[in-house]
Amino acid sequence: MADQNYSNHGRMVPMFHYVAFTAALFPYVLSMVYFFKALNAGSGRLQAAVMVSLTAAVILALWFARAFALKAQDRAIRAEENFRYYIATGKPFDSKLRMRQIIALRFAGDNEFVALVKKAVDENLSAKQIKMAITNWKADYNRV
């Protein structure tokens, strides 16, 4: 696996991000076409409505599965980075830190982590600004 840095740290899982969503979206579009044809024809409306509902449910299930997994990862990252900060300083994170900032701070190497946390709080840095300020990138190959 290539060394991770700012320009390549984003990860996509093709089977999920492209194939699964396309496989769910395609039948949804077809069911919508069928639904509007059924409305114009005056028959088959119930079947068409069921098809639209089921395909929409599959898309929602995929969306929420992704959202829930990210939320769990966010909580783990918050706990890990808060513990990392506590070990380094003896204090918990400043309550002003937002989740996006904490997620970005996980890439900071130990030698710059504490200073970057302070800078993020003092200057209210965005996640992108935090990532761009990192000089010693600590890779995270687990988050997808």
The pLDDT value given to residue 55: 96
Tally of CB atoms within 10 A around 64: 10
The pLDDT value given to residue 8: 58
- Rg of the Cα atoms in the chain: 22
DSSP string of 110-140, one letter each residue: HHHHHHHHHHHHHHT--HHHHHHH-SSB---
The pLDDT value given to residue 137: 87
In which residue are the tokens 């290539």 written?
Answer: 2
The pLDDT value given to residue 115: 97
pTM for this entry: 0.76
The pLDDT value given to residue 131: 93
pLDDT-flagged residues of the chain (< 70) = 1-2, 5-11, 143-144
The pLDDT value given to residue 144: 62
